[in-house]
Amino acid sequence: MFSPLVLAHWMPDPASGSPEGGVVVSVDPTLSENRSVSLLRVEGGNAVLSLSPSRASELALTDGQHVDSEEIAARLKRSGVSLNDPDHLFYLSVRDQATLRDESPGAETRQLSAADRSFFEDFTDEAPEDDLDDAFVELDHWLVVGTFIDDKLVCVASMYPWGDTELADLGVITLPEFRGRGLGRTTVRAMSAEALRRGYEPQYRCQLDNAASAALARSAGFTHFGEWEVIDTGE
């Protein structure tokens, strides 16, 4: 269902899937300190604990090892490692990607650039502060798309390459008075189509308690991949 790029990133060895209720350990020397421990629970399938080599040594775990979930929790606790609240992870299925590539957004939805700064500043002045903090939408990101109504910027989505991967993490904000019109869906789909053309895989993340954002992900054609927790570094 999902592209090989997504599966290779999260499931480096699909054949070594975890047993029911258990976790398979993946030791990855490329992990940065702020992602040195993470736990992914794939929808209806495996659980993967990704560790940097130093964290694996600290937790006395080895690559490919299968460990009970409760034992993982106990080892993390003994080592003083805590994880942040989990995020939903959504991706476009291979079939939905093919459909998206054939779509063309209306003229009111387009890519934004530095020339649109005045529109963007007016937009951020009106957007709720919590939305700006949670969605992390910025005009100087790798790819930015906006939707206008009567020459007013009312919805913005932006994305950036996620670390050194070809995944592109996205955020989206629609001004409150313009919600419920499908503008977020249109904007996210237009941006995702362009990311695919550039060879990147759109990635939609949101917290588990953000029902509105999860609903937008699904309405934009994304499929739930799993829940992801990453080490809390205190930053």
Q: Give me the pLDDT at residue 104, please.
A: 84
Model pLDDT for residues 91-134, shown as the tens digit of each residue: 999 999 999 988 888 889 999 999 999 999 999 999 999 999 99
Question: Which residues, 6+ apart, have CB-to-CB distance to 132 below 8 Å?
Answer: 124, 173
Q: Give me the pLDDT at residue 27, please.
A: 94
- Which parts of the chain sit beneath pLDDT 70? 12-21, 235
Q: Give me the pLDDT at residue 11, please.
A: 81
Q: Give me the pLDDT at residue 194, please.
A: 96
Q: Give me the pLDDT at residue 203, please.
A: 98
Q: What's the whole-model pTM score?
A: 0.91
Q: How far is CA 71 from CA 12, 24, 45, 67, 224, in A?
A: 22, 12, 19, 7, 27
**Cβ-count burial of 171 within 10 angstroms (0-12 exposed, 13-18 middle, 19+ buried)?**
buried
Q: Give me the pLDDT at residue 163, please.
A: 86
Long-range contact list for 42-46, CB < 8 A, 24+ apart? 42/10, 42/11, 42/225, 42/226, 43/224, 43/225, 43/226, 45/17, 45/226, 46/11, 46/17, 46/18
